[in-house]
A and B are shown apart, each in its own frame.
Chain A
Amino acid sequence: GNSVTQMEGPVTLSEEAFLTINCTYTATGYPSLFWYVQYPGEGLQLLLKATKADDKGSNKGFEATYRKETTSFHLEKGSVQVSDSAVYFCALSDPIMTGGGADGLTFGKGTHLIIQP
């Protein structure tokens, strides 16, 4: 079956530090990959996505590259801010499993990021 593994948290960094949150996946087909962010008390917001190998998703200074050879989709940001403090979820969608079309996402357990001023 499909699975997503991401680094355990919490991850605590100082403002302006470089961020990497590791994510690796196992999938039967050719999944699309996502990063979602959850701020305290809120739902998940799509941060970025990539739909095929070597695609790079980017948004708000965050980037992640779909690496098929290492089955990874690590999240990076060059200079984090206090406002980036949140829980980050890596997820995949594998249409092969359900014959195509919209289907459910498989999530990692989430990584709690804490940015200190």
Chain B
Amino acid sequence: NAGVMQNPRHLVRRRGQEARLRCSPMKGHSHVYWYRQLPEEGLKFMVYLQKENIIDESGMPKERFSAEFPKEGPSILRIQQVVRGDSAAYFCASSPETDYGYTFGSGTRLTVV
């Protein structure tokens, strides 16, 4: 029973490139959340998705960032034209439909050079 799987674990991108971060939720979990952890800070909520729907994207920057959770396959967090300030750890969490039992992945550490 695999947990929340995120890949890649580490991602290095040059300024202006695109970053794609993937998250496969736990089996049976239909809710996916993305969080960003900046150095010396806590986790900040970015976006909450269910299959094929964005439920709440209030924590996600309006430009360059997008997220999807297709009917088949993992959830994708996409950052276009990355800048140095995007360097952070990005964590995905999933939960069952009617419970507050969030399970987190190990994160993707994005470094923009």
List A residues at the B interface (Cβ < 8 Å). Answer: 4, 32, 36, 41-46, 49, 51, 89, 93, 98, 101-110
CB distance B100 to A32 under 8 Å? yes
- The 5 closest A-B CB pairs, nearest first, are A104-B45, A107-B42, A43-B104, A109-B42, A44-B104
Task: Tell me the complex Cα distance, A73–B59, Å.
Answer: 25
Task: Tell me the complex Cα distance, A46–B93, Å.
Answer: 11
Chain A residues with Cβ under 8 A from B99's Cβ? 102
Interface status of B84 (Cβ within 8 A of chain A): no
Interface status of B41 (Cβ within 8 A of chain A): yes
Chain A residues with Cβ under 8 A from B41's Cβ? 109-110
- Which residue among A45, A46, A104 has the maximum number of chain B CB atoms within 10 Å of its CB? A104
CB distance A107 to B44 under 8 Å? yes
CB distance B95 to A89 under 8 Å? no
Q: With A43-B4, A102-B31, A102-B95 as known contacts, state yes or no: A89 contacts B104, CB within 8 Å.
A: no
CB distance A103 to B56 under 8 Å? yes
Q: With A42-B106, A93-B100, A98-B56 as known contacts, state yes or no: A105 contacts B95, CB within 8 Å.
A: no
Interface status of B101 (Cβ within 8 A of chain A): yes
Chain B residues with Cβ under 8 A from A93's Cβ? 100
Q: How far is the CB of A112 from chain B (nearest CB, A)?
A: 10
Interface status of B102 (Cβ within 8 A of chain A): yes
Contacting residue for B42 out of A41, A104, A108, CB 8 A: A108
